[in-house]
Amino acid sequence: MSHDTRNARPPEEAREFIVFGSDWNRHPSTSQHLARGLLPDSQVIWVETVGLRAPSLTWRDIKRCGQKLLDFCTTRRETTTPDHPHLHVLSPPTLPFTRLRAVRRFNLWSVKNKVRRAARALGFEKPVLVLTCPHQGDYVGHMQESCSIYLCLDDYSLWHGMDAVHVTRMEQDILGKVDAIVTVSARLAERLGGPGRRVQVISQGVDVHHFSSRTRAKSGGPFEIVYFGMIDARLDQDLLLRVAHSLPDARIRLIGPQVADTRRLAAAANIHVEAGVSYDLLPESIASADVFILPFLVNPLTESCTPLKLKEYLATGKPVVSTPNPTASEWGRFVQIASSHDEFIQRLESIAAHGEAGHAPQLQESLERETWAAKTTEFLALVNKVRSSRLSMS
């Protein structure tokens, strides 16, 4: 018989959550890590919706639309699992063309019916509504929620292929509706803040054990340079090609979903563009790495993002070389930041020749304060304050 651990928290604390996000387990994300942290003693309805960007006539987008259509027409993604009996995944039919008012009305009707029906079946009374993208603002006030939180992970108006004006308009709409805003950086908090807005920064977390448990000494093979994450417009492909030319004996692995055109990279003999690996298998896949890299372009998009992978890199205990960005600067004690292509290559050459002096005790101590359990505790503390305030007012 399973033990219901939801009694672990006092009754006045939030135990029911409706979280809107991307497909569960498709990509590890901050919102999914936080949701997992809630699961031991909360019921979570995870609502899969279409993304922010309208699809284009590319094979990748056509394939993705086909997958979503299959999800909508079946219940194959709507499940609970023995590992997470308190997680309930819903995939209501929604359309991606959110500029159209008729589409947004249809999406609201479809989502509201399915989510409220599931919430009633689970006995939800005053759930907390968590939104993770600007176009989800239409759902505020329609889920019988006790309070609403906008979890903002990026400046979406800067994303490649986005209609910046439309995204900004939707973002202003959601900011005016929710009870509180959570961001992952001070830069985002400053941008989203305003009169009467409650904004709190909760930085990205990391599962230290997950990424450190497979670390091992290499017994041979080429010097291995590894990047994992989205292979998209943020990557400095010119830098990567220069690294490949300057370190011809090195093996450069780029692991992750490919959004950008990688034909130039794939043409280099020592650059290996690999498909994404599941979160569970990732530590084993990267165990042979000698150094991790964050080779981003320096522009407004990369200056606004807070790459989740940086702390995961650090958790392996291996050296990390990065181009300048705010997150790398925050961890500058442990990250080698290169301000030019030449310096980036020199740092890699130095690590290949001499290794890097360890700073394991200090790094371990710093990372232990950044666990997902700690981030979930911060998030719950904010939620309970906001929820208590809303309930007392009503």
* Shared-domain flag, residues 258 and 332: yes
Structurally, how many domains does the chain consist of? 2
The C-alpha atoms of residue 202 and residue 260 are separated, in whole angstroms, by: 29
Cβ contact 18:142 at 8 Å? no
Question: Reduced to 3 states, what is the DSSP secondary structure of residue 200?
Answer: strand
* Shared-domain flag, residues 168 and 83: yes
Q: How close are the terminal C-alpha atoms of the chain, in Å?
A: 39
Q: What order of strands is seen across the sheet that includes strand 291-294?
A: 271-274, 251-255, 224-228, 291-294, 320-322, 336-337
* Shared-domain flag, residues 249 and 150: no
Kindly give the confidence (pLDDT) of every residue in the chain, 394 residues in length, as a single tens digit, with 9 standing for 90 and above.
344 444 455 547 889 999 999 989 888 899 999 999 999 889 999 999 886 665 555 555 555 545 555 555 555 555 656 577 899 999 999 888 888 899 999 999 999 999 999 999 999 999 999 999 999 999 999 999 999 999 999 999 898 878 889 999 999 999 999 999 999 999 999 999 988 899 999 999 999 999 997 766 666 789 999 999 999 999 999 999 999 999 999 999 999 999 899 999 999 999 999 999 999 999 999 999 999 999 999 999 998 889 999 999 999 999 999 999 999 999 999 999 999 999 999 999 999 998 876 667 899 899 999 999 999 999 999 999 999 998 888 6
The C-alpha atoms of residue 207 and residue 309 are separated, in whole angstroms, by: 11
* CATH code: domain of residue 84: 3.40.50.11010
In degrees, rounded to 5, the angle at the alpha carbon of residue 208 between the alpha carbons of residues 17 and 298 is 85
Let me know how long the chain is. 394
* Shared-domain flag, residues 10 and 119: yes
The C-alpha atoms of residue 357 and residue 117 are separated, in whole angstroms, by: 57
DSSP single-letter state for residue 224:
E
* Shared-domain flag, residues 243 and 257: yes
Closest alpha carbon to 311 in 20, 24, 33: 33
Unique residue bearing structure tokens 């370190």: 247
pLDDT of residue 12: 72
Strands 147-152 and 128-131: parallel
* Shared-domain flag, residues 282 and 142: no
Strands 320-322 and 291-294: parallel
The C-alpha atoms of residue 57 and residue 159 are separated, in whole angstroms, by: 18
What would the two tokens of residue 233 be? Answer: 């417009």
Question: Reduced to 3 states, what is the DSSP secondary structure of residue 281?
Answer: coil
Helix 341-354 with 237-246: angle, nearest 10 deg: 40
What does the H/E/C string look like for 202-254? Answer: CCCCECHHHHHCCCCCCCCCCCEEEEECCECCCECHHHHHHHHHHCCCCEEEE
* Shared-domain flag, residues 241 and 305: yes
* Shared-domain flag, residues 280 and 228: yes
pLDDT of residue 213: 76
Q: Which range marks the domain in which residue 215 is found?
A: 208-367
pLDDT of residue 7: 47
The pTM assigned to this predicted structure is 0.88
What would the two tokens of residue 204 be? Answer: 């990205």
* Shared-domain flag, residues 159 and 221: no
CB atoms within 10 A of CB 7: 10
What does the H/E/C string look like for 92-113? Answer: CCCCCCCCCHHHHHHHHHHHHH
Unique residue bearing structure tokens 């599941």: 278
Hey, which residues does 129 pair with through a beta bridge? 18, 148
* Shared-domain flag, residues 80 and 222: no
* Shared-domain flag, residues 214 and 256: yes
pLDDT of residue 11: 47
pLDDT of residue 98: 86
pLDDT of residue 194: 87
Cβ contact 214:287 at 8 Å? yes
What would the two tokens of residue 33 be? Answer: 């890590």
* CATH code: domain of residue 221: 3.40.50.2000
* Shared-domain flag, residues 91 and 232: no
Hey, which residues does 180 pair with through a beta bridge? 149
